[in-house]
Structure 1
Amino acid sequence: MTTTTTNSTNSTALSLPTVGGADILIRLSLAGTFIYHGLDKFPNIAAGAEWMGLPYALWLLVALAEIAAGAGIIAGRFIPNAIGDLTSRLSGVAIAVTMVGAIYLVHWGQWSNMPSESHPFGGMEFQTLLLATGLFFALRGNKA
């Protein structure tokens, strides 16, 4: 356990304990979301591509990218040295790119995640959180 100290204007320093490896909680949540949504596309990729108005190959790539990004965000944590860091960063980039596409194609124009008549899959509230988390790992890698 390490201690984080913050500077203060008074003479008493605030010391808060930190827990090493706590980033795994965020990684598991993010990975679970992406792996689930990637696998969920496979039962009928052609219909999903048609519904989204995207080419089959692009929709397949999205599904594979979601699965790979989810797996990579977990694997990157356990792969030592620069390879693990790069895996985490590339997975973060894949997550961010996927979420920009999802926000643009489906969720833009409504903030609330609640479904509405104009946005049957809800707004971009949750998607911006996923985008920001992906960008965090893209920028910080394993130094999270």
Structure 2
Amino acid sequence: MNQLNKLSGIAHWLPRLSLAAIFLYHGFPKLAMSGDVAAMMGMPVFMVIMVGIVEVGGALLLLWGGFGPDWATRFAGLMFTAVMIGAIVMVHAQYGWSSINMGNNGGRGMEFQVLIITVSLLYAFKGNAISQEAIETAED
């Protein structure tokens, strides 16, 4: 256990990097091909661009926050939460819970969006205290 505790100070990077990668992956196309994405999603181009800015900007803030600014981590968590609530309301809720392609939902359920919200809210509520608490626990 002591060996794992020694690594706990950097464990916050696992979900931080995962979230950043997810939002960069989904945000860049919204900025680079906003017209095509808007047509595919049935949304106004302006809205697609705004969501893309929030996704890419939030990812960059979350990464930057890992090196110090607590507000960047917290703000990114709030940004991601807002985007995922919008995604659930506009797309995923109608397909139910499961994201596995079962029946006629096409794998578009909301379970992964809910997971992203919970991790995002953890960052919003705790900020960089997640990593600081882990370091203090490992030192005890």
Q: Please identify which structure carries the higher strand content.
A: 1
- Partner amino acid for 1:131? I
**2:126 paired with 1:115:** no
SS of residue matched to 1:20:
helix
Contact persistence 2:38–2:45 (CA under 8 A)? yes
Residues 6-65 of structure 1: CA distance to partner in whole angstroms, max 9, x if unpaired?
xxxxxxxxxx83521210111001111111110132342112223323221111010111
- Supply the distance in 1 between the matched residues of 2:120 and 2:64 (Cα, whole angstroms): 15
Larger displacement relative to structure 2 (17-26 or 97-106):
17-26
Q: Deviations over 1:72-95 (max 9, x none)?
A: 11110103xxxx110001000000
Higher RCO, 1 vs 2 (CA within 8 Å, ≥6 residues apart): 2
How many residue pairs get aligned? The number is 127
Map 1:13-28 to 2 at 5 A. Answer: 17=5, 19-28=8-17
**Per-residue CA distance 1:82-119 (angstroms, 9 max, x = gap):** xx110001000000000001111111031110236754
**TM-score, length-scaled by structure 2:** 0.81
* Counterpart-to-counterpart distance in 1, 2:118 and 2:5: 26
**1:93 matches 2:78:** yes
1:132 aligns with 2:118: yes
Higher Rg of the two aligned structures? 1
What is the aligned partner in structure 1 of residue 33 from structure 2?
44
CA distance in 2, matches of 1:68, 1:121: 27
Mind listing any 5+ residue stretches in structure 1 that lack a counterpart? Answer: 4-15
Deviation at 1:121, TM superposition (A): 5.1
Instruction: State TM-score, norm by structure 1.
Output: 0.79
Unaligned runs of at least 5 residues, structure 2: 131-140
Structure 1 or 2: more helix by fraction: 2
Q: Percent identity?
A: 34
